[in-house]
Structure 1
Amino acid sequence: MKTVEAGRGEATPVAAADAYLLAVFASTDGFGVDRCVCDDRRSELLADADLMRRQVAATGRDFKVQGTDWKAIAGGGTVSAQVKFIVTDVDAATGRVLFVHGTAHEWVFHTKRERGIDGGWKVCRIDAPPLCGTHIRC
């Protein structure tokens, strides 16, 4: 029973998109992302998530991702958010922790409600600017 619950999608499209962001950028395991994506595009979406994780890791910096201003678009499971990356940096001279906020950019998440034992809202496609050059320096 616990395995089924762990693989279940979210209650709303916004919750599905927010869970996806958290799973990609805050989670250290692939299972978190796996439970957030549609079955019919699973391998493609997992590869995209892995690429984004590697791009962030290659910077050697600590990032937090924040989605705000969530909006439903034309009903049916498409939502948008303003997504920004916040860099945690330490000033070498003073030892102070600095939080550098990047510019927010719109990400659009196309979700659908899947049926079955592990159903619920899941992300099927993301329209977002490339991480490199937009949110982070690569």
Structure 2
Amino acid sequence: MHNEQAVIVPTMESLIELVDHFENYIIDTELNPEEEFGVLRKDEKSGFTCMMTPDLSLFSIDILNAKDEVLIKILKEILDQYNIETERLNEDVQVCYKERVIEMQRHYERYWVTYRYNEEDGMILMRYRAFVNE
């Protein structure tokens, strides 16, 4: 369970160390983890990219080859590093991909997540949006 504290931005070194545990996957070291991150599989068309708003209230994630379960595990572990809720991430991505869901949502304590299957590219588009506290 994640606490109610703000998002924690991990260092590039900690992200490299995390991804290095998975053979054939690399993290894009050219990206600044405060703004974006990305992971690719060397030998297959598989990967994801994520861009965030400066206040970290929106994470926009594009996943190529969502059937790659190791890739989704890496995404979950990276989002965990950012202190973002991921309890149903694996299941939600698989349902969206297998059923070609046009749009589905998940509500967590601090964020709601929208999943969309993009038929044209065969990608999953995810958006984590923070709830606004007034």
Pairwise TM-score range, normalised by the shorter structure: 0.3 to 0.5
Normalising by structure 1, we get a TM-score of 0.32
Greater length-normalized contact order (CA 8 Å, ≥ 6 residues apart): 1
Normalising by structure 2, we get a TM-score of 0.32
Judging by fraction of residues, say which structure has more helix. 1
Q: Greater CA radius of gyration, 1 or 2?
A: 1
